[in-house]
Structure 1
């Protein structure tokens, strides 16, 4: 739990009482490689922190799989749309490796945010960062060609390039595996 508390503390300082109350509502889950963390057509009612391992967030459309993000150690994720609108998720999250997650139930967490300004501050900053990351992802998909998207991925995520397969990387880049192979061959 140390890395989880450290992650939150980087965005908002927590006193011991807040830490204690937060740790009372969370649980740790181990998800085997290939297993689903959460699936579409159900409400996402948790925040997830990756203690160890790697997951991908994706959606399906017309038989194709589109990968939105990869989340690795020391990152937090959720389906913001589902958790905030109380609608069913459109996304699926799958473990790409054996993964240990800290699971934070959204509604008890929300109550703690009302009680402790430090947690509210953390959550506001987390939402801002998530929004900025998604805007950057959309901008990249709209403005960059496939080769530039691949170069950006290798530059920004060198520590996970070797941990994901080519199918997942091509799904993230929005190109076919054949196109990805051509781009990689040009290096």
Structure 2
């Protein structure tokens, strides 16, 4: 729980009462084996998730091809923003890439914490803004950058993931084939 509170406090300063409220909130611990879905396609994402150990991918499939939008390692809070804002069933899914332990809280319950604690509401607003900014940067990168540049950007931004992400998942994240990825890596 301390890691989550530190994450929140790093994004936006929390007062002591907000920290206590988060510490006492109704977070539920969950464990997912490697390859197990955390959120399936065509379901509703009603939770915020915080990974305490492991790695997940946020992805969708189309005609036998998987597209990976993001990887979420330890000490990251995440949810499905599209589903959260639209209220429709998700076309995306979260899959555990490694055995993954996380804590989750319902978005409804988290919003109650926001109503009770201004500093938690401020954190949540900043968190959602950051998440939207990250997604827009990701979309922009996919549309504007060549595959070689996308690979170099990934190795610079996420060097700690290079040994944890399979070549198949990395190629799906970059939007290229494994053969193309091998060529880029060989240069």
**Band of TM-score, shorter chain:** over 0.9
Q: Measure, in 2, the Cα distance between the counterparts of 1:24 and 1:154.
A: 37
Q: How far off is 1:176 after superposition?
A: 0.4
Match of 2:93 in 1: 92
* Number of equivalences: 186
Match of 2:56 in 1: 55
Structure 1 gaps, min length 5:
none
RMSD over aligned CA atoms reads: 1.1
TM alignment of 1:1-187, pairs within 5 A: 1-22=1-22, 23-186=24-187
| Structure 2, unpaired ranges of 5+ | none
Structure 1 length normalisation: TM-score?
A: 0.95
With normalisation by structure 2, the TM-score equals 0.95
Distance in 2, Cα, partners of 1:139 & 1:80: 17
Say whether the 8 Å CA contact 1:46–1:83 is kept in structure 2: no
Q: 1: distance between equivalents of 2:12 and 2:105?
A: 17
Q: CA deviation at 1:27?
A: 1.4
Q: In the TM superposition, what whole-angstrom CA distance separates every residue of 1:9-31 from its partner, at most 9, and x where no partner exists?
A: 11223334323333322112111
SS in 1 for 2:41: coil
Counterpart secondary structure, 1:21: helix
Runs of 4+ in 1 over 4 A off after TM superposition: none
